[in-house]
């Protein structure tokens, strides 16, 4: 990762860490009780659409608020919808399912995996870990959860694209190093492509993030979609060849 990207990511992650601490002090249930145990309405609203188009091939984006598009006026502005548009422009007929749940951890992703893989899923984009890092969960737990998600998908002959995340620096350089290494280790062990930091070029750039300094704006989501598309396109081509 370029030094400017590391510095930008660090600024964003410091804000994330501060927000997490403030939430914990206020007694918010998002920190004390992981949201994956009670998915918000936005997540539940994806289920009818998924069932309606069950016969069409799918790409599922399994993630947290960065995937769900928290703070945007419409989920059509989030990167899953933007990727669906790119696919159609390129002549690929896929439904892209936004399986993002705000506040979700990698453990929540494991619990939601069976629903997420319903239907004719061809590719699973895994964008989890930001909330693991905010809560200081052990990197070993993150690794175990990601390995479960990836291996389960591969057993079902679903291609996987793994999106990496950075940990907030307040847990120390050792934690940051181990957290970052998890994604590389999972990708290497399970032979799946990896985008080391999917907020590359977005993190720390003021105009590409909302006023909280955390969640991407519509333009930031477009940047994320472009980053993912470079690795997603070859996977889709492999599926159709």
Catalogue the active-site residues.
Answer: 65, 212, 215
Write b or e for each residue in 159-173: b if 16 or more Cβ atoms lie within 10 A of its Cβ, otherwise e. bbbbbbbbbbbbbee
d(CA 138, CA 32): 16
In Å, the largest CA–CA distance within the chain is 53
Q: Between the CA of residue 19 and those of 38, 128, 205, 224, what are the distances in Å?
A: 21, 18, 18, 23
Contact status, residue 229 vs residue 38, Cβ threshold 8 Å: no
Label each residue of 6-19 as H, E or C. Answer: HHHHHHHHHHHHHH
Find the angle CA(203)-CA(117)-CA(119) to the nearest 5 degrees. Answer: 125
The C-alpha angle with vertex 165 and arms to 239 and 210, in degrees rounded to 5, equals 105
Instruction: Please state, in angstroms and rounded to a whole number, the distance separating the CA atoms of residues 159 and 201.
Output: 26
């Amino acid at each position: 990762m370029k030094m400017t990207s590391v510095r930008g990511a660090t600024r964003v992650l410091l804000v994330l860490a501060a927000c997490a601490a403030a939430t914990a002090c206020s007694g918010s249930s998002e920190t004390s009780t992981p949201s994956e145990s009670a998915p918000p309405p936005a997540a539940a609203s994806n289920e009818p659409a998924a069932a309606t188009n069950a016969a069409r091939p799918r790409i599922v984006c399994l993630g947290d608020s960065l995937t769900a598009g928290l703070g945007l006026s419409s989920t059509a502005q989030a990167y899953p919808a933007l990727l669906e548009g790119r696919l159609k422009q390129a002549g690929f007929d896929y439904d892209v399912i936004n399986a993002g749940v705000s506040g979700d951890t990698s453990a929540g992703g494991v619990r939601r995996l069976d629903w997420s893989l319903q239907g004719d899923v061809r590719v699973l984009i895994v964008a989890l870990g930001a909330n693991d890092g905010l809560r200081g969960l052990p990197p070993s737990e993150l690794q175990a959860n990601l390995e479960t998600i990836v291996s389960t998908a591969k057993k079902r002959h679903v291609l996987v694209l793994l999106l990496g995340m950075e940990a907030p620096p307040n847990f120390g350089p050792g934690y940051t190093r181990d957290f970052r290494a998890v994604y590389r280790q999972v990708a290497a062990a399970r032979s799946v492509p990896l985008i080391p930091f999917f907020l590359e070029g977005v993190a720390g750039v003021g105009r590409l993030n909302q006023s909280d300094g955390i969640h991407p704006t519509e333009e930031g989501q477009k940047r994320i979609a472009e980053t993912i598309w470079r690795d997603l396109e070859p996977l889709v081509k492999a599926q159709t060849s």
